């Protein structure tokens, strides 16, 4: 059974702080990792993807991947109230079309 | 503008009725997907299609059917056999290489009367 685990939250951080969102996965054959943001009542939108161990930065967002520990995280620097949303971690096995999603972490950025 | 459209935004189903959700994309993507999302839950894959006239079952295909007659279109039918259809239905597409990013449409919310 392939599983992707996320803390459901809510995770509350003050405006301007760093928000740290974590995700663990069970399938060691996983090759591609995605972070989506989903506002209430809306569809998921892609924030970042990462394939290789280490860090990947895009603006205020940094994705971190550690395949040995089966762990992927998303850091949001200088958090803004507009970052308040549910963040979904998704994992894809090498050679597969299917994404396995976690249940998401709800982030609340307090002004 | 390139993108994925889904219609309707809200859909009401009566007992014993089949309903069809529309998904269209003009991104020239080969692969298309249907997911279901229940409150507080992650997305679960219903069906996916890699090319025209071909599709595969996902994790929760029972009670659903699809067709892929055109590259741009991947409609989902929720049949009367699906006993708990109330959910948020999301269509997605990707270029077609297995490890390419999936992009989502705006979704259809299905409610049972």
User: Cα separation of A34 and A50, whole Å?
Assistant: 7
How many angstroms away from the CA of A16 is the closest CA of chain B? Answer: 27
List alpha helices for A21-73, DSSP H.
Answer: none
Residues of chain A contacting B, Cβ within 8 Å: 4, 8, 31-32, 34, 36, 42-46, 49, 51, 88, 90, 92, 94-99, 101-104
Chain B contact set for A96 (CB, 8 A): 98
Look-up of token digits 């989506």: A36
Using the beta-carbon criterion (under 8 Å), do B58 and A98 form an inter-chain contact? Answer: yes
Q: What is the pLDDT of residue B98?
A: 59
The mean pLDDT of A56-82, rounded to a whole number, is 97
More confident residue, A1 or B23: B23
Per-residue pLDDT of B30-46, as tens digits, reads 999 999 999 888 899 99
Please tell me if residue B99 touches chain A, with a CB cutoff of 8 Å.
yes
- For B52-111, how does the pLDDT look when each residue is reduced to its tens digit (9 = 90+)? 999 999 999 999 999 999 999 999 999 998 889 999 999 999 987 655 789 999 999 999
Q: What is the mean pLDDT of residues A75-92?
A: 97
pLDDT at A100 exceeding the cut of 70: yes
- Sort out which chain A residues have CB atoms less than 8 A from B87's CB and list them: none
Residue A5 half-sphere exposure, CB side, CA atoms within 13 Å?
A: 7
Amino acid B71: pLDDT: 96
Query: Which residues of B fall within a CB distance of 8 Å from A42?
Result: 106-107
| pLDDT level of residue A94 (50, 70, 90 thresholds) | confident
Q: How many other C-beta atoms can be found within 10 angstroms of the C-beta atom of residue B112?
A: 16
């Amino acid at each position: 059974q392939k599983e992707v685990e996320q803390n459901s939250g809510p995770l509350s951080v003050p405006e301007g702080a760093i928000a740290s969102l974590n995700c663990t996965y069970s399938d060691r054959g996983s090759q591609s990792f995605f972070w989506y943001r989903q506002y209430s009542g809306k569809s998921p939108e892609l924030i970042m993807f990462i394939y290789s161990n280490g860090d990947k930065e895009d603006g205020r967002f940094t994705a971190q991947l550690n395949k040995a520990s089966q762990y992927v995280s998303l850091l949001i620097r200088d958090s803004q109230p507009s970052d308040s949303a549910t963040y979904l971690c998704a994992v894809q096995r090498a050679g597969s079309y299917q994404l396995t999603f976690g249940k998401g972490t709800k982030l609340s950025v307090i002004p | 503008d390139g993108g994925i459209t889904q219609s309707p935004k809200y859909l009401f189903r009566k007992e014993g009725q089949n309903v069809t959700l529309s998904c269209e994309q003009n991104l020239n993507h080969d692969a298309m997907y249907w997911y279901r999302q229940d409150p507080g839950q992650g997305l679960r894959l219903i069906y996916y299609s890699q090319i025209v006239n071909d599709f595969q079952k996902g994790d929760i295909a029972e009670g659903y059917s699809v067709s892929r007659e055109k590259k741009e279109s991947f409609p989902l039918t929720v049949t009367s056999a699906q006993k708990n259809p109330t959910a948020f239905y999301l269509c997605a597409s990707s270029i077609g290489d297995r490890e390419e990013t999936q992009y989502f449409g705006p979704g259809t919310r299905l409610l049972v009367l």
